[in-house]
Structure formats: structure tokens, C-alpha cells
Amino acid sequence: MQVAHIGDLNTDLDNVRRMREAVGPDIDIMIDVNMGWSADIAITMGRKFEEYDIYWLEEPVLADDYAGYLRCAEALDMRVVGGETHFGRADLKPFLENPRLPILQPDPMRGGLTELRKIATVADTWGITIAPHLFPELNVHLLASIPNGIWAEQMGLLDDVFISLPKIAKGMITAQETPGHGLAFKPEVLKDFVLK
């Protein structure tokens, strides 16, 4: 769920409380700050969120505020995750070398699937899991090929672009068995992008 961009801090806390009440104790809640806070605010709010058994606090600070990420991870009793706005292993090095940041969220649009596999390999040597950012129709193949994949993020952003998508049922995603990534664009989508 989103915080930091929809209301003030009290509204964010109330929304988290209401979400926990609505879904009960058996559903994981992941909070996305989307780089909306300083480390000080993220730590203050994270401590308040801990009461609601939050699975993770995502991108609490600016992407290049590595020290802020580490401060949050050390101060909070919840997972602090990030990596979706970083480009490749070099940008993710501070995350890859710190087990206090247990989950990375690399994005296939920032380095490609080969780079994501390399990130996953390095992360696995440090005991870090991978929850790739968005694009589950592509990331499902990555997740099926690495030992440390944990989550596929589905927001339906490209559901109307492809002819057929991986099946998602009961919280599980299944890779297609067609060649390559198995995706084909709908013809009506392509007609606006013809090279003449």
C-alpha cells in the first residue's frame, strides 16, 4: 500500500491501521513509501507501523541515500527493501553487501533480464532474496530460474497490451511454456507504432 504521497503522516498511520483491520492477521501488508521520506521520518513512521505487523517498508528514502536505507534497516524491526530505481549491480552494491537489507527489487527496464540474473546470483551469495519490480509477465521467467526469488509484483499495468499473460491464481504465477518470454503484442497495439 502507498504512503507518503496521499496525505499527512497521521493519515498514513490511520490508513495502515485500517488496512490491517480490513485484511486481518494472515495477509502480508507491504508499504511503499516511494522515496517520500527522509530517514528520520521513515524510522519514526516505521516504528509506528511495526504495531501492524508490516511485511516490508519499500523505498523509504531517496534511491541514492544508501546511508539512509541502512539507518532505517538497523533501526526498524521490519524488512526495508529497495532497488527498483537502481541501474545494475554497481548501483546495488551497498545493498548486496548488507544482510540488513534482505530483499532487493531490481527492475528489468534498468539493465535487462541478464543483469537481473547477475544481481540475483550475487544477492544469493549474501542470503538476499529477489522480488523484482513490476513486469511479472517478464519477471516470472527470472523468478523461475533463480533460487532466491520471493515475490512477483502484479499491478496490471500491461495487461491490455499482450495477447496472453502468465496465469496468476491463488497467489502463484506460472511461466508460459512458449518460446522466449512467451509474450505477443495485440495487433491493435502495434498499429500505432509502425515504421514507415
- pLDDT tens digit string along 15-57? 999 999 999 999 999 999 999 999 999 999 999 999 999 999 9
Give the residue from 85, 91, 90, 97 showing the smallest Cα distance to 60. Answer: 85
Query: Given the C-alpha cell 521467467, which residue does it identify?
Result: 141
Which residue segments constitute the domains of the chain, with CATH numbers given?
9-158 (3.20.20.120)
| Stated pTM of the model | 0.89
Give the residue from 17, 67, 10, 18 showing the smallest Cα distance to 44. Answer: 10
CB atoms within 10 A of CB 105: 22
**pLDDT at 67 (0 to 100):** 94
181 is catalytic: no
Distances (CA, A) of 145 to 11, 40, 112, 163, 178: 40, 38, 15, 24, 16
Catalytic entry in 5, 86, 133, 141: 133
- Cα(151)–Cα(163) distance, integer angstroms: 24
- Which residues lie below 8 Å from residue 160, measured CB to CB, with a gap of 6+? 186
